[in-house]
A and B are shown apart, each in its own frame.
Chain A
Amino acid sequence: MNYLDSNELSALSLGATLLGSGGGGDPTILYGHLHYLLEKNGPIKIIQPEYLSPDALLIPIALIGAPLISLERIPNSTLFLALFKEIKKQHPDRECVLMPAEIGGCNALTPFMLAAQAALPVLDADLIGRAFPQLNMCKPAILGKDKQVSYLASPYGDCLTIKTDSIAALESKVRDATLHFGSSAVLATFLFNAQEQDEYIIPGSLTRALNLGRLLEKHAKDLSSLSTATQAKKIGSGLITEVSHSIEGGFLLGYATIKTTRGELQVFYQNEYLLVKTRDGNNLAESPDLIALLESHSGLPLTSETLRFGLKVEIFSLAAPSFWQEPYARSQVDLQAFGLTTDKGLAYV
Chain B
Amino acid sequence: MYKLGIDVGGTNIDFAVVDQHDRLLYSHKILAQGDLHRAIAKGLSELKQSKGFDLSCTEAIHLGTTLAINSLLELKSLHKVGLLRLASHAPDFPPAYLWPKTHRDSILVGHCTVAGGREYDNRSVKALNNLELINAANTLIDMGAESLAIVSVFSPLYAEDELSAANLIRNQISSTIPLSLSHQLGGLGFIERENSTLLNAALKKVLRESFKSLSFALKENGFKGECFITRNNGTLFSLAEAIEFPVMTIASGPSNSLIGASKLSQLNDAVIVDIGGTSTDIGIIENGFPLYSLKGAKVAGIPCQLLAPDIRALSMGGGSIIRSNNHSYSIGPDSLGAELFTKCKTTGGSYMTLYDVGQSLKAANNKEAEAIMIYFLQQIKTELISLIPDPDSRPILLVGGGSENIPDSFLASNFLRPPHYQIANAYGAALSEVAGQVDCIVQFQEDREKQIKLLEEKAIALAIEKGATAGSIRIIEKKILPLHYMQEPRSRVLITAAGRMRSR
Which residues of A come within 8 Å of B, CB atoms? 32-33, 35-36, 66, 68-69, 71-78, 155-156, 179, 182-183, 239, 247, 250, 295-297, 306, 308, 310-312
B484–A297 contact, CB under 8 A? no
Given A72-B120, A182-B123, A297-B386, 6 more contacts at CB 8 Å? A33-B93, A36-B97, A66-B484, A73-B119, A74-B93, A296-B389
**Set of chain B residues within 8 Å of A182, measured between Cβ atoms:** 119-121, 123
B153 in the interface (beta carbon within 8 A)? yes
B94 & A74 in contact (Cβ 8 Å cutoff): no
B485 touches A66 (CB 8 A): yes
In the complex where A72-B188, A183-B485 touch, is A78 in contact with B153 (Cβ < 8 A)?
no
Q: Does B214 contact A (CB under 8 A)?
A: no
Which partner residue on chain B sits nearest A178 by CB separation? B485
B residues whose Cβ falls under 8 Å from a Cβ of A: 87-94, 97-98, 117, 119-121, 123, 125, 153-154, 188-191, 286, 291, 294-295, 386-387, 389, 482, 484-485
Which B residues are CB-close (under 8 A) to A66?
484-485
Interface centre among B93, B97, B190, B291, by most chain A C-beta atoms within 10 angstroms, is: B93
Chain B residue nearest to A184 in the complex (CB): B120
- Least CB distance from A217 to B in Å reads 17
B120, A36: Cβ atoms under 8 Å?
Answer: no
A72: chain B residues within 8 A (beta carbon)? 120, 153-154, 188-190
Which residue of the partner chain B has the closest CB to A68?
Answer: B188
Rounded to whole Å, the gap between the CB of A77 and the closest CB of chain B is: 5
Residues in chain B near residue A35, CB distance under 8 A: 97-98
Q: Which A residues are in CB contact (< 8 Å) with B90?
A: 76, 78
Alpha-carbon distance A155/B92, docked complex (angstroms):
11
- Which residues of chain A are near B117, meaning CB under 8 Å? 73
Residues of B within 8 Å of A295, CB to CB, are 294
Whether the Cβ atoms of B191 and A32 lie closer than 8 Å is: yes
The 4 closest A-B pairs by CB, nearest first: A297-B386, A155-B89, A33-B93, A182-B119
Determine if B153 and A73 form an interchain contact, defined as CB atoms under 8 angstroms apart.
yes
Q: Decide: A250 near B484, CB < 8 A? Known: A72-B154, A73-B119, A183-B120.
A: yes
A71 to B188, Cβ gap below 8 A?
yes
Task: Give the nearest-CB partner of B93 in chain A.
Answer: A33
Neighbouring B residues of A33 by C-beta, 8 Å = 93, 97
CB–CB B386/A73 < 8 A = no
Give B193's nearest chain A residue, CB to CB.
A72
Identify which of A68, A74, A76 contacts B191 (C-beta below 8 A). Answer: A74
Question: A247 with B97: in contact, given A72-B189, A74-B91 (CB under 8 Å)?
Answer: no
List chain A residues, Cβ under 8 A from B484. Answer: 66, 183, 247, 250
A73 and chain B: residue at smallest CB distance: B153
Please state if B389 and A71 are interface contacts (CB–CB under 8 Å). Answer: no
Known: A32-B97, A68-B188, A71-B189. Contact between A250 and B485, CB under 8 A? yes
* Cβ distance B271 to chain A, nearest Cβ, rounded Å: 13
Would you give 7 A-B contacts (Cβ < 8 Å), ordered by A? A32-B191, A73-B119, A74-B191, A76-B89, A155-B89, A182-B119, A311-B294
B239 to chain A: closest CB distance in Å? 33
Known: A35-B97, A239-B389. A73 touches B89 (CB 8 A): yes
**A73 and B387 in contact, given A33-B93, A35-B97, A247-B484 (Cβ under 8 angstroms):** no
Which residues from chain A contact B191 at a C-beta distance below 8 Å? 32, 74
User: Which residues on the A side are within 8 Å of B154 (C-beta)?
Assistant: 72-73
- Shortest distance from the beta carbon of A299 to any chain B beta carbon, whole Å: 11
Which of B89, B94, B190 touches A156 (beta carbons < 8 Å)?
B89
* Cβ contacts under 8 Å, A155 to chain B: 89, 91
Q: Tell me the minimal C-beta distance from B51 to chain A in angstroms.
A: 42
A308: chain B residues at CB < 8 Å are 294
Q: Which residues of A are found within 8 Å of B91, using beta-carbon distances? A: 74-76, 155
Q: Which residue on A lies nearest to B385, using beta carbons?
A: A297
Instruction: Give the shortest distance, in Å, between A72 (CB) and chain B (any CB).
Output: 5
- Residues on A with C-beta less than 8 A from B98 are 32, 35
The distance in angstroms between the C-alpha atoms of A220 and B120, with both chains bound, is 37
Q: Which residues of B contact A311 (CB under 8 A)?
A: 294
Complex Cα gap A240–B340 (Å): 44
B89 partner, pick from A71, A78, A297, A306, beta carbons under 8 A:
A78
B288 to chain A, nearest CB (A): 15
Closest B residue to A307 by CB, please name it.
Answer: B294
- With a CB–CB cut-off of 8 A, which chain A residues contact B387? 297
Cross-interface CB contact of A69 among B92, B120, B389, cutoff 8 Å: B120
CA gap between A24 and B191 in the complex, in Å: 20
- Taking CB atoms, residues of chain B closer than 8 Å to A77 are 92
Q: Are B189 and A36 in contact (CB under 8 A)?
A: no
Least distance between A118 CB and chain B CB atoms (Å): 15
Rounded to whole angstroms, the CA-CA distance of A69 and B87 in the bound complex is: 14
Min Cβ gap A33→B in Å is 4
Q: Which residue of A lies closest to B194 (CB)?
A: A74
Rounded to whole Å, the gap between the CB of A164 and the closest CB of chain B is 22
Please name the residue on chain A nearest to B156 by beta carbon.
Answer: A72
B294 touching A76, Cβ below 8 Å: no
B291 contacts A310, C-beta separation under 8 Å: yes
User: Once the chains are docked, how many angstroms separate the CA of A78 from the CA of B125?
Assistant: 15
Once bound together, how far apart are the Cα atoms of A78 and B89, in whole Å? 8
Compute how far the CA of A66 lies from the CA of B486 in the bound complex, rounded to whole angstroms.
13
Q: Which residues of A contact B291 (CB under 8 A)?
A: 310
**Interface pair A306/B120, CB less than 8 Å apart:** no
Smallest CB–CB gap between A40 and chain B, Å? 10
How many angstroms from the CA of A183 to the CA of B88 in the assembled complex?
A: 16
Q: Which residues of A lie under 8 Å from residue B97 when comparing CB positions?
A: 32-33, 35-36
Return chain A residues, CB-CB under 8 Å to B121: 182
Contact of B295 among A76, A78, A306, A312 (CB under 8 A): A306
> Which chain B residue shows the least CB distance to A312?
B389
Q: Whole-angstrom distance between the alpha carbons of A69 and B191 in the complex?
A: 12
Q: How far is the CA of A77 from the CA of B90 in the complex (A)?
A: 9
* Known A36-B93, A156-B89: A74·B190 in contact at CB below 8 Å: yes
Docked complex Cα distance between A114 and B92 (Å): 14
Q: Closest approach, in angstroms, between the C-beta of A70 and any C-beta of chain B? A: 10
Q: In the complex, what residue of chain B is closest to A37 when comparing beta carbons?
A: B93
A310 to B291 alpha-carbon distance, docked (Å): 10
CA distance A312 to B291 in the complex (A): 14
